[in-house]
Amino acid sequence: MPESQFIKTMVSGRYIVQKPFGDGPYHLLVGFHGYGQLAEDELALLKGMAGSSRWICCAIEALHPFYQQKGRVGANWMTSRNRELMIEDNVNYVDAVITELGSKYPLDGTLVYHGFSLGAAMAARAALLGSHGAAAVMLLGGNIPPEHEELGRMKRAHIARGNNDRLYTRKEFERDKAKLERSGVPFDHCSFPGGHEAGEEYLMAAGEFLKQVH
């Protein structure tokens, strides 16, 4: 019978950074895009938040690109195949990016993770499993990974959903809020008009949350 074997290998990941004016030190806002998106999509979302221009904004691109309709390239974080290995690879990837950013820019130690859609799970995993402690985690239109019940390492959270979002349901939203409550994690929550997207009301609420993070 054939046997599956796995081997560690090196791959190149891509991230994009926007630095604010001034000499720093800076807060760091790191974002994870949704399914089929690219780092540019997440960076645009981060830049749309009120007050984010005072942060170093970094969008990390998923390691698995693929072609979509009409040849457009998108990327995905993982599938259910070899799930545990992919989680480990992704967390190590994020840790490496944060370490490299610290060697390139004057950072003050305040780190916030943001994730949209499937990127929300990545933001949660980076905070819960990664080696760089986050001051807060922001989740938009995506759930906290179901295998995680103790969420104390998230420190503080902002969780949001469009009222008409069919991908991240109200039931999932309420379940994640309950998990944060059980873990004793202080959090803000935001429901806004719209679907699976970042509406203007969300961007304003996210900016207000960032103002409170130290």
| CB of 179 closer than 8 Å to CB of 123 | no
Give pLDDT, residue 205: 96
Give pLDDT, residue 3: 87
Share of the chain above pLDDT 70, in %: 100
Give pLDDT, residue 81: 87
d(CA 133, CA 130): 7
User: How do the domains of the chain map onto residue ranges?
Assistant: 15-212
CATH number for region 15-212: 3.40.50.1820
Give pLDDT, residue 102: 96
Between CA 105 and CA 120, with CA 60 as vertex, the angle to 5 degrees is 120
| CB of 198 closer than 8 Å to CB of 119 | no
The sign of the torsion formed by the CA atoms of 65, 67, 72, 76 equals: negative
Give the global pTM. 0.95
Give pLDDT, residue 21: 86
Extract the residue ranges of the chain whose pLDDT is less than 70.
none
Pairing, β 136-140 against β 26-32: unpaired
